Structure 1
Amino acid sequence: MSRLPLKPLDEALAELLVQAAPLAGSETVDLFGADGRVLLQAAVSELQVPPQDNSAMDGYALRCADVPAPGAVLPVSQRIPAGSVGTALAAGTAARIFTGAPVPEGADVVVMQEDCEALEDGRVRVQVLPTPGRNIRRAGEDIALGAQVLAAGTRLDPAALGLAASIGLARLPVARRPRLALFSTGDELVMPGAVPPAAMRPGAIYNSNRFFLRALAERLGCEVTDFGIVPDRLDATQDVLREASREHDVILTSGGVSVGEEDHVKPAVQALGSLNLWMVAMKPGKPFAYGRIDGAHFMGLPGNPVSSLITFMVLVRPFLLRLQGVADVAPQSVAATAAFDWPRADKRREFLRARLNAAGELELFANQGSGVLTSTVWGDGLIDTPPGQSIARGDRVRFLPFAELLS
């Protein structure tokens, strides 16, 4: 039986992203419910931040000209806490001021209280020679009036929510959540809790994929419908695919997309719709599939847990983000030094589980098998190894942290 050549990973990802047109529809949500959502319209500031020149320190606002040398003593003419506005500063005086309070007109420096001595008669001794502008936050130095503070397509995180709040926004327009249908195939699969380990029948395994795939999809903003475990039958697989395609944007499956006699997902998709991509030149994760069933995208992942996890991180994650309008979906990588030898170059692009040691170098998990899920908990991320490339101790490699891939 002849087979088509494996699709290079970069080509496969590019083809997927072309298909990932942003979903129609939106909603406006409260900031407290916006974490992880994707901003649909740019956020523009209707004020400047800070609104006025204000003090960066607790201390004394004064004129530099009134302190010609350290040790100068000035009367304290006013007290300005945060939230209050003082009066114009009289020449030859100082104002007691607190962090965030507007700097009074006439003052050109704030001297922090640690460099001053409050005297019992209500005066202050300035023990340093001040320089103009010190400890003053200028109006608009953070955000100018009319500035765009968040671009459309931004995936909102806690810092972005704080920034939106700082310009007075209480609600934000966001892309609607993708509706994702999830199921696993395999008569060998058993749900944790259904059968105790001692009573597991020969050949049975617990379904781990269902848990991490659902968690990952929900982290990426999806509304997940879990169809559970589907029996290894073509008719059963077609029934679930047909039902899932009616009300979901994406159908995500685990298992059944390889070439075995009991792998029914691929022929079921072909019978109901189209299969546009199958078999990618990556390790682990070769039997990845993409197609369409009516209006739903179909994405089929391998059944081996590490293969399923890595194909999700590398291929499904950017696809789901692009559906929500995120422009830059590539994970941030870092260059790191290998503290190991890997002489077994593969024809496919290979993702090796590794972690950073105390010296900041990468150690390799001993068993890189596609069923060894412990490697993904032990590791900090993946070494992205080009096809045909071996690794020698001391080589610089491209490292993809799990903090990027699992967020």
Structure 2
Amino acid sequence: MSSSGTAPSDHGHTGPSDHTGPSAHSHGGEGPGDPCAGPARGLWSVDEHLDDILAAVAPLEPIELQLPDAQGCVLVEDVTVPVALPPFDNSSMDGYAVRVADVAGASEEFPAVLTVIGDVAAGAGGLPEVGPGQAARIMTGAPLPPGAEAVVPVEWTDGGTGEGAAGTMRPASAAPEGAAGEVRVHRPAEARAHVRARGSDVRAGELALAAGTVLGPPQIGLLAAIGRGTVRVRPRPRVVVISTGSELTQPGEPLTEGRIYDSNSFALAAAARDAGAIAYRVGAVADDAESLRAAIEDQLIRADLLVTTGGVSVGAYDVVKEALTADGEVDFRKLAMQPGKPQGFGMIGPDHTPLLALPGNPVSSYVSFELFVRPAIRALMGLADRPDTQRPRVRAVLKADRALSSPAGRRQFLRGTYDAESGTVTPVGGSGSHLIAALAHADALLVVPEEATGVEPGTELEVVLLG
């Protein structure tokens, strides 16, 4: 069986194959008119395999969630504003609420002297009315009292009679309720100065968020600000990642002879979270078909999507194929790509849960995830028609010391680093699908098209940006 560590064998092998066509197990067969039927030739293209997956994966049913649980989910309905935001005129500064006429012409030499009639704190009710020659001390966010037309910042005043040095404000509790004082204002203020108008953010009845919006922190904040405690969304998909291989040891445990550490389940679970899913990682399952079937059945209860890694090639211990082909629900096929030639896809269990079976070598499994699993996750979220269903792609010029070779008829994905400033991409590491260290230092995939067998430095290529 293929492994999810750095084993020397490559079950993403892309050498010659006598495979003459896709298995008839795919979605119940490939008869005439079957929309899920594979191509007549022996190899599926990358695009055909992805199209087959997206045609079968439907968005999850909407549910109502509390705001903290809705982060990362996709709205399924327009949200309108029930009340204006802010709901009342309020002060943007600590200072004094005044009438414009009372501070007209005020200066350091000739300040306007006003009677302070009380305090207005944030959340206050029973507001005092500001009349001619009067002012109300006001805090940031507090409602503008009736009669007041502007707010002068405390820095424009002496801080009020008996209230400390200029530029400071006495705490509201420092004077008895209703006690009057004086404040000297050294600058004039225009009407509505330092006042946040009611509805200046959004007005009642306006669209706050449109259906299809992915709820990030700012969107969650807006929903809370307009009083929404719950929201109707498509939930984040639950993705279960299962690695296979009797040779696998969990990180942190002693590594005995002939064994390797399980890396794939950690990498793919992290990739699933990065794509927007809730990820569950299952420890490595040994090379036993019954054990794998039992593990999958146990996980179906919490899975919207299952991902296995390893055991999809033609080896004697490739038990993923053995475990999943017997009932005809999963089709194992070969793709015209490198790395990642062997792939499996099907709908399993009573709820027809999608399962993607990926190769076991680290680079093969990760490239396969980015090309096929990530779009499936986004489709489950209801984002299949958005540009960000897949990773962004750009054109970049190859920066290399020598030409790159590529197998004829295969779309090759090589690791690289992308420089946006120069518009160039540089290969990292070799083409081996076990070279996980090179993958860790790459931020892009170079795409060599099927018709190319070599790429010279200076050639423009398509580049998939990873993150």
TM-score class, shorter-chain normalisation, is 0.7 to 0.9
Q: Which residue of 1 aligns with 2:433?
A: 370
Give the AA of the match of 1:290.
F
Q: How far off is 1:308 after superposition?
A: 1.7
Q: Report Cα offsets for 1:17-38 as digits up to 9, x if no partner.
A: 2222123473x44334443444
Q: How far off is 1:145 after superposition?
A: 1.7
Tell me the distance in 2 between the aligned counterparts of 1:288 and 1:106.
73
Q: How far off is 1:147 after superposition?
A: 3.5
Q: Which aligned pairs between 1:161-200 and structure 2 lie closer than 5 A?
A: 161-175=220-234, 178=237, 180-194=239-253, 196-197=254-255, 200=256
Q: Which residue of 2 aligns with 1:263?
A: 318
Q: Report Cα offsets for 1:357-405 as digits up to 9, x if no partner.
A: 9x898775731543233345444x3246463595867979756353xxx
Tell me the distance in 2 between the aligned counterparts of 1:111 and 1:98.
11
Q: Does 2:118 correspond to 1:82?
A: no
Q: Which residue of 1 aligns with 2:375?
A: 318
Q: Which residue of 2 aligns with 1:13?
A: 50
Tell me the distance in 2 between the aligned counterparts of 1:397 and 1:391.
14
Q: Which residue of 2 aligns with 1:118?
A: 159
Tell me the distance in 2 between the aligned counterparts of 1:312 and 1:272.
25
Q: Does 2:100 correspond to 1:61?
A: no
Match of 2:286 among 226, 230, 244: 230
Q: Report Cα offsets for 1:39-86 as digits up to 9, x if no partner.
A: 454444322211012222223333445444461524154432211253
Matched position secondary structure for 2:342:
coil
Matched position secondary structure for 1:144:
coil
Tell me the distance in 2 between the aligned counterparts of 1:210 and 1:47.
47
Tell me the distance in 2 between the aligned counterparts of 1:168 and 1:95.
30
Q: Which aligned pairs between 1:8-407 and structure 2 lie closer than 5 A?
A: 8-24=45-61, 26=63, 28-69=64-105, 71=107, 72-78=111-117, 79-85=119-125, 86-118=127-159, 120=161, 122-127=182-187, 130-175=189-234, 178=237, 180-194=239-253, 196-197=254-255, 200-202=256-258, 204-217=259-272, 220-222=276-278, 224=280, 226=282, 228-231=284-287, 233=288, 237=292, 240=295, 248-266=303-321, 268-275=323-330, 278-280=333-335, 283-294=338-349, 295-326=352-383, 328=386, 329-330=388-389, 333=392, 340-341=399-400, 343-344=403-404, 346=406, 348=411, 350=413, 352-354=415-417, 364=426, 366-368=428-430, 369-379=432-442, 381-383=443-445, 385=447, 387=449, 400-402=465-467
Give the AA of the match of 1:61.
A
Give the AA of the match of 1:161.
I
TM-score (norm. length: structure 2): 0.69
Give the AA of the match of 1:352.
R
With a CA cutoff of 8 Å and minimum separation of 6, indicate the structure with the bigger relative contact order: 2
Tell me the distance in 2 between the aligned counterparts of 1:18 and 1:133.
57
**Are 1:182 and 1:225, in contact at CA under 8 Å, matched by a contact in 2?**
yes
TM-score (norm. length: structure 1): 0.77
Q: How far off is 1:285 after superposition?
A: 3.5
Query: Which ranges of structure 2 fall in alignment gaps of 5 or more residues?
Result: 1-17, 21-40, 162-180
Tell me the distance in 2 between the aligned counterparts of 1:83 and 1:41.
32
Tell me the distance in 1 between the aligned counterparts of 2:371 and 2:100.
58
Q: Report Cα offsets for 1:251-277 as digits up to 9, x if no partner.
A: 210012234444343454333224457
Q: How far off is 1:246 after superposition?
A: 7.6
**Are 1:273 and 1:292, in contact at CA under 8 Å, matched by a contact in 2?**
no
**Are 2:321 and 2:332, in contact at CA under 8 Å, matched by a contact in 1?**
no
Tell me the distance in 2 between the aligned counterparts of 1:125 and 1:336.
61
Please provide the CA RMSD for this pair.
Answer: 4.0
May I ask how many residue pairs the two structures share in their alignment?
Answer: 393
Q: How far off is 1:300 after superposition?
A: 1.0
In structure 2, relative to structure 1, the CA distance for the partners of 1:393 and 1:84 (3 Å cut) is farther
Tell me the distance in 1 between the aligned counterparts of 2:184 and 2:397.
59
Tell me the distance in 2 between the aligned counterparts of 1:277 and 1:256.
11
Tell me the distance in 2 between the aligned counterparts of 1:223 and 1:383.
24
Q: Which residue of 2 aligns with 1:405?
A: none
Give the AA of the match of 1:30.
Q
Computing the radius of gyration from Cα coordinates, the structure with the larger value is 2
Which is further off, 184-193 or 210-219?
210-219
In structure 2, relative to structure 1, the CA distance for the partners of 1:108 and 1:212 (3 Å cut) is same
Q: How far off is 1:140 after superposition?
A: 1.8
Matched position secondary structure for 2:377:
helix
